[in-house]
Chains A and B, each alone.
Chain A
Amino acid sequence: MYKYIIRRILIFIPMLFALSVVVFALSKAAPGDPFTTMLDPNIDRSVFEERKEALGLNDPIPVQYFRWVSSAVQGDFGESIVYNQRPVMDLIKVRFWNTIYLGIVALFFTLIVAIPIGIYSARNPYSLLDYGATGFSFLGLAIPNFFFGLLAIYFLSIQFGWFPAQGTVSGTDVSGLEEFIDRIHHMILPGITLGLAGTATYMRYMRSEVLDVLGSDYIRTAKAKGMSDRNVLYKHTLRNALIPIITLMGFEFGVLIGGAVITEQVFNYPGLGTLFLDAIINRDYPIVMALALIFGIFILVGNLLADIFYSVVDPRIRYD
């Protein structure tokens, strides 16, 4: 098992390397550079030419790539170009934990809603709640994130005042436990919004998996042995039904980390997604590269974790 994990982690290295080459080439292939859109008639364009030269943006692309790689392997991701020379890691640090927490909260909401309802729907198919859940999942998939977010803000935050509308914390003067609670309070609306589509998907998966498993021979055998319904459900059905969900979650984690752009924007929740989008639009190459690597690592780790959980849930799967 440990050997397997180490082997998998070692494979990360060439994969991340390949990823960095592709992302670097693509971002350089996009037209323009960080200074193209700095349009200001009061500033002579030769100033930007000078800066480009100083930053080495006029060098051949392979030269630029190797310069980036050689400092990146030493842990130096350089400085942002658009955010006047601020170290990339500085800019990422603030948003990194915001994003992780939001991802966890979203995943948490997804699971506590989707799994029980999915199970219930499968055990009582075509019941009122099953139809309700089906309706909800279609709605959840169909409703755009930003729209749901705005509805949530309008009703839950502005009309009823239950949740804060924007940001991650109320102010600079809260600390300790109060701050912790405040931060969680701020995460609930964006968490639900971000988790909505996932909830809908998982609910459908869970329902069909459980239905599938319930119809299989070993469940009939277990029931024939006189096993209680509860035991059949928890010992036999659930374990088998969870396998595809775990695969999905492996991917989902990577998606939640990088793909929360819209939710982050609507709730003004500073996270990595918005930073990534801005960096791409502004051609802020150092940030694009650092974030691409971080997202890559998350997707790889998410998949690794999914594989490890497989063997926990399903003893037939063993790695060595």
Chain B
Amino acid sequence: MLNKKLWYLLIVLSLFAFLLAACNEEGGSDPGDEEEPAETEDPAEEEEPAEEEEPAEETSDEPVEGGELIGAMDTAPAGVFNPIFYSEAYEANILDFTHESLVGQNDNLEFIPELAHDWELNEDQTELTLYLEEGVTWHDGEEFTAEDVVFTYESIASPGYVEAGGIRTAFVTPLEGYAEFNAGETDTFAGVTAEDEYTVTFHFAEPNVNPLYYASYSIIPQHVFEGVAIGDMPTHAATLEPGEVIGTGPFAFTDMVEREQYVLTRHDDYWQGKPYLERITWQINDQSVISSLLENGEIDFVADPSGVPAADYEMVSGYDNVEIIEQTDFGYQLMGFKMNYRTTEDVESGTINPNNWVENPNVADQQVRQAIAYAIDRPGLVEGLLYGRGSVINAPIAQQFWAYTEDVPQYEHNQDTANQMLDDAGYVDADGDGWRDMPNGDEWVLDLAFPTGNQIRERSAPVIEENLEEVGINVNLMQPKEMTAYTEDIMTSDDEQEIDLYLIGWSLGSGDPDPSGLWSIEAAYNMSRWNNPESDELISQALQAPEAFDQEYRTEVYGEWQNLFATDLPAVLLYAQNKIYAFNERLNGVDPLPYAFANNPHLWWVSDAQ
């Protein structure tokens, strides 16, 4: 009987094998084959990095309509395609194509017209009136009006928004009447009002230094979400389902294979003109194969948020069919000094009160912190770990901002200076064990904590340890922890008084250089617990109306603040990584912004469109 069963098994197996063979033959539709035209394109123009200078060829100069693109990202979006509820960069990759804001930003990070073609500010900057483009249509054909803008901001301000999972309240809190409306005391939100169909006014409770930033939020359609309770919005079809997500952008989100492919189809009635490309597909690929797929033309571009890893730069730049754009990332990695600890009571009650903080004697001396900065070979980190695809920075404001200054103490790598400064500060080897001790003779060991996850950062920890040991500082490299446990240690319950040095990275927003979220004394993210009243003073001065309406004044104040930071040194800024965008040379019209690859994708076109 078993004999018979085995025979059946054998038959099934051979059928299966036959099936496989068959589908191999049908495999003529392999993606690899289809893309061949892209690879065999004229080899003569390989060397030209700038697309405008391409030698005249029938296909290259004039944009042509049609064709499609495949972009790759290494992690799938969580799946919330609603600007007011999304939370991560992978969702943003899709929303960037489908939704728009009243104002955008240009290369210099100045706000420029988008859905609003013009605006006016009143004298004390409490009222911002924007004039909207007429004739803009949503993907479903309805017209875009001022009511949509009011509806978007009302939704973010409405009671229950946070409970429903929204986290963007920062865009509405400075607006007039937010507190009353959010508490349910009023039925209408006084913060944003429609004057007529194409005019909308933002009312600020206080004079605002950067009002356009608050008008830069993506707009959602009122006619789709009207009558949907705020709590139901995150699970509404128009938030989750392709084809139901409606925006005004050049492409509409029309189809998906969840976690694998996300298809954007052109919006024919796009107000800035019909996009050239017919379709852009986002494909999710493992980081380790993205480079090979770029080479054989199966994907056309890889950009935000990860781009090409620094280690692959050499290889990818050697591909004949791929062009690279490299630009500085918005953000930096740092090694912070845990200058103060919170008390256990404060941690339990969740308060941040600098009066209760306990000073950490290990890194309390400013001279010691500066000596440590001299001892760390930061160019070495950039060369060794980033393969040169990054830069050393000295001030904690993104380099792209007008507010950034290089005119601060530089701390060039110098072991002699470091040794000298430590000697002067009294940190010498008192007991002859080869390590420096505290001025009072106590043993001096610095505990360096770091998280897993970011491999480059992980590998920088032992290098820093080595750098510091070279100047006689005894460093204890702590066991790395996964990010959640680590964050808990350095930020949420930092009363253990163990950690002296910690590694973390920040990506910064492009909207405004105000550093208060990271470095003001009572900010949760001030993980150093840097307690310098002068710093808080400068930070609030830079936002003080009406002086701060003048950008030059702010630049000056931020310059002073950056100097204070670099002198008092609550953290050593290690490096800013470069973002490496790569795309197939058949893609033209790419014009990335300092913070994003996708800029005016309706002007992208492919040279081999049929």
Q: Which of A134-176 contact B (CB under 8 A)?
A: 150, 153-154, 157-158, 161-162, 164-172
- Interchain CA distance A157-B33 in the complex, whole Å: 12
Across the interface, name the chain A residue whose C-beta is closest to B87.
A84
Query: Is the CB of A103 closer than 8 A to any CB of chain B?
Result: no
Query: Is the CB of B30 closer than 8 A to any CB of chain A?
Result: yes
On whether the beta carbons of B484 and A84 are closer than 8 Å, the reply is no
* Segment at the B interface, from A31-39, A61-69, A218-226, A247-255: A31-39
Q: Chain A interface: which size bin?
A: 35 or more
Across the interface, name the chain A residue whose C-beta is closest to B256.
A172
Q: In the complex, how many residues of chain B place their beta carbon closer than 8 angstroms to a beta carbon of chain A?
A: 73
On whether the beta carbons of A86 and B518 are closer than 8 Å, the reply is no
In the complex, chain B residues whose CB is within 8 Å of the CB of A265: 286
- Interchain CA distance A234-B257 in the complex, whole Å: 46
Instruction: Say which residue of A44, A54, A267 sits within 8 Å of B169 (CB atoms).
Output: A44
Instruction: Say which residue of A162, A164, A238, A267 sits within 8 Å of B286 (CB atoms).
Output: A267
Instruction: Say which residue of B78, B488, B518 sits within 8 Å of A41 (CB atoms).
Output: B518
Chain A nearest CB from B518 CB (Å) reads 5
Q: Which of A181-224 contact B (CB under 8 A)?
A: 181-182, 184-185, 188
On whether the beta carbons of B492 and A39 are closer than 8 Å, the reply is no
On whether the beta carbons of B235 and A86 are closer than 8 Å, the reply is yes
Instruction: Say which residue of A37, A83, A184, A283 sits within 8 Å of B23 (CB atoms).
Output: A184
Beyond A41-B523, A85-B234, whether A154 also contacts B292 by CB under 8 A is yes
Chain B nearest CB from A161 CB (Å) reads 4
Beyond A32-B492, A171-B261, whether A162 also contacts B293 by CB under 8 A is no
In the complex, chain A residues whose CB is within 8 Å of the CB of B285: 165-166, 268
Query: Is the CB of B483 closer than 8 A to any CB of chain A?
Result: yes
Chain A nearest CB from B449 CB (Å) reads 13
On whether the beta carbons of A49 and B261 are closer than 8 Å, the reply is no
In the complex, chain A residues whose CB is within 8 Å of the CB of B286: 166, 265-268
On whether the beta carbons of A162 and B76 are closer than 8 Å, the reply is no
On whether the beta carbons of B260 and A169 are closer than 8 Å, the reply is yes
- Interchain CA distance A185-B86 in the complex, whole Å: 34
On whether the beta carbons of B350 and A281 are closer than 8 Å, the reply is no
* Segment at the A interface, from B159-167, B220-228, B425-433, B553-561: B159-167
Instruction: Say which residue of A48, A161, A234 sits within 8 Å of B6 (CB atoms).
Output: A234
Chain A 80-112, CB within 8 Å of chain B: the 1/0 string? 001111110000001100000000000000001
On whether the beta carbons of B492 and A150 are closer than 8 Å, the reply is no
Chain B nearest CB from A86 CB (Å) reads 6
- Interchain CA distance A281-B453 in the complex, whole Å: 11
In the complex, chain B residues whose CB is within 8 Å of the CB of A94: 258-259
- Interchain CA distance A238-B80 in the complex, whole Å: 54
Query: Is the CB of A270 closer than 8 A to any CB of chain B?
Result: yes
Chain B nearest CB from A165 CB (Å) reads 6
On whether the beta carbons of A84 and B284 are closer than 8 Å, the reply is no
Query: Is the CB of A8 closer than 8 A to any CB of chain B?
Result: no
On whether the beta carbons of A49 and B484 are closer than 8 Å, the reply is no
On whether the beta carbons of A166 and B257 are closer than 8 Å, the reply is no
Chain B nearest CB from A95 CB (Å) reads 7
Query: Is the CB of B283 closer than 8 A to any CB of chain A?
Result: yes
On whether the beta carbons of A161 and B32 are closer than 8 Å, the reply is yes
Query: Is the CB of B263 closer than 8 A to any CB of chain A?
Result: yes
Chain B 279-309, CB within 8 Å of chain A: the 1/0 string? 0010111101100110010100000000000
In the complex, chain B residues whose CB is within 8 Å of the CB of A267: 286
Query: Is the CB of A235 closer than 8 A to any CB of chain B?
Result: yes
Chain A 103-124, CB within 8 Å of chain B: the 1/0 string? 0000000001000000000000
Query: Is the CB of B85 closer than 8 A to any CB of chain A?
Result: yes
- Interchain CA distance A154-B579 in the complex, whole Å: 26
In the complex, chain A residues whose CB is within 8 Å of the CB of B525: 39, 41
In the complex, chain B residues whose CB is within 8 Å of the CB of A235: 2-3
On whether the beta carbons of A37 and B31 are closer than 8 Å, the reply is no
On whether the beta carbons of A268 and B284 are closer than 8 Å, the reply is yes
On whether the beta carbons of A172 and B170 are closer than 8 Å, the reply is no
Query: Is the CB of A42 closer than 8 A to any CB of chain B?
Result: yes
Chain A nearest CB from B566 CB (Å) reads 19
Across the interface, name the chain A residue whose C-beta is closest to B298.
A165
Query: Is the CB of A7 closer than 8 A to any CB of chain B?
Result: no
On whether the beta carbons of A49 and B78 are closer than 8 Å, the reply is no
On whether the beta carbons of B2 and A281 are closer than 8 Å, the reply is no
Query: Is the CB of A50 closer than 8 A to any CB of chain B?
Result: yes
Q: Which of B393-436 contact A (CB under 8 A)?
A: none
Query: Is the CB of B114 closer than 8 A to any CB of chain A?
Result: no
In the complex, chain B residues whose CB is within 8 Å of the CB of A161: 27, 30, 32-33
On whether the beta carbons of B234 and A84 are closer than 8 Å, the reply is yes
Chain B nearest CB from A302 CB (Å) reads 20
Query: Is the CB of B229 closer than 8 A to any CB of chain A?
Result: no
Q: Which of B479-519 contact A (CB under 8 A)?
A: 482-485, 487-489, 491-492, 506, 508-509, 511, 517-518
On whether the beta carbons of B506 and A95 are closer than 8 Å, the reply is no
Beyond A94-B259, A150-B289, whether A54 also contacts B483 by CB under 8 A is no
Chain A nearest CB from B370 CB (Å) reads 25
Query: Is the CB of A51 closer than 8 A to any CB of chain B?
Result: yes
Query: Is the CB of B13 closer than 8 A to any CB of chain A?
Result: yes
Query: Is the CB of A43 closer than 8 A to any CB of chain B?
Result: yes
- Interchain CA distance A55-B260 in the complex, whole Å: 30
On whether the beta carbons of A166 and B13 are closer than 8 Å, the reply is no
Instruction: Say which residue of A84, A166, A181 sits within 8 Å of B78 (CB atoms).
Output: A84
On whether the beta carbons of B517 and A32 are closer than 8 Å, the reply is no
- Interchain CA distance A191-B162 in the complex, whole Å: 43
Query: Is the CB of A30 closer than 8 A to any CB of chain B?
Result: yes
- Interchain CA distance A166-B286 in the complex, whole Å: 8
Chain B nearest CB from A255 CB (Å) reads 22
Query: Is the CB of B79 closer than 8 A to any CB of chain A?
Result: yes
Beyond A94-B258, A161-B30, A165-B289, whether A50 also contacts B24 by CB under 8 A is no
Beyond A161-B33, A188-B20, A270-B260, whether A153 also contacts B284 by CB under 8 A is no
Instruction: Say which residue of A49, A167, A234, A270 sits within 8 Å of B2 (CB atoms).
Output: A234
Beyond A47-B169, A85-B164, whether A112 also contacts B257 by CB under 8 A is no
- Interchain CA distance A39-B490 in the complex, whole Å: 12
On whether the beta carbons of A39 and B487 are closer than 8 Å, the reply is yes
- Interchain CA distance A208-B288 in the complex, whole Å: 39
Instruction: Say which residue of A30, A154, A168 sits within 8 Å of B484 (CB atoms).
Output: A30
On whether the beta carbons of B6 and A47 are closer than 8 Å, the reply is no
Beyond A45-B524, A154-B292, whether A166 also contacts B3 by CB under 8 A is no
Across the interface, name the chain A residue whose C-beta is closest to B234.
A85
On whether the beta carbons of B506 and A41 are closer than 8 Å, the reply is yes
Q: Which of B171-216 contact A (CB under 8 A)?
A: 173
- Interchain CA distance A40-B92 in the complex, whole Å: 15
- Interchain CA distance A37-B293 in the complex, whole Å: 32
Please list 24 pairs of residues, one from A and one from B, whose beta carbons are closer than 8 Å in the complex, sorted by A's number.
A30-B484, A31-B489, A36-B484, A39-B506, A47-B167, A79-B235, A84-B80, A84-B86, A84-B87, A85-B165, A85-B234, A87-B235, A158-B32, A161-B30, A162-B24, A165-B289, A166-B289, A167-B261, A181-B26, A184-B20, A239-B2, A268-B284, A281-B483, A283-B484
Those 5 A-B pairs whose CB atoms lie nearest each other, nearest first = A41-B517, A161-B32, A270-B259, A32-B484, A54-B163
Residues of chain B whose beta carbon lies under 8 Å from any beta carbon of chain A: 2-3, 6, 13, 19-20, 22-24, 26-27, 29-33, 76, 78-80, 85-87, 162-165, 167-170, 173, 234-235, 240, 255-261, 263, 281, 283-286, 288-289, 292-293, 296, 298, 350, 482-485, 487-489, 491-492, 506, 508-509, 511, 517-518, 523-525
